């Protein structure tokens, strides 16, 4: 992505955060409401039952031998 597109995305994300008073809970609620609207529009395909990948800390061989 060209830098100007990345900058535009960052600017928009900052504006959304600003509108929500930089409150993480409000930002998440905003994105969930947008997701709900997009799902109801049937213009986009969503995978149900998918959860965000969470990275687990890696366990080294020495630690796993305990």
Number of domains observed in the structure of the chain: 1
* pTM exceeds 0.85: no
List alpha helices for the chain, DSSP H.
3-19, 24-41, 61-64
> Alpha-carbon torsion 28, 57, 10, 48, what sign?
negative
HSE toward the beta carbon, residue 26, CA cutoff 13 A: 8
For 26, the domain range is 1-44
Tens digit of each residue's pLDDT (9 = 90 or more) over 13-28: 999 999 999 999 999 9
Find, among 30, 32, 2, 36, the residue nearest to 16 by Cα. Answer: 30
pLDDT at 31 over 60: yes
């Amino acid at each position: 992505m060209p830098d100007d597109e990345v900058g535009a995305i960052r600017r928009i994300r900052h504006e959304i955060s600003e509108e929500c008073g930089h409150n993480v809970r409000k930002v998440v609620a905003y994105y969930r409401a947008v997701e709900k609207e997009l799902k109801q529009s049937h213009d986009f395909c969503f995978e149900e039952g998918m959860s965000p990948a969470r990275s687990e800390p890696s366990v080294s061989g020495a630690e796993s031998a305990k």
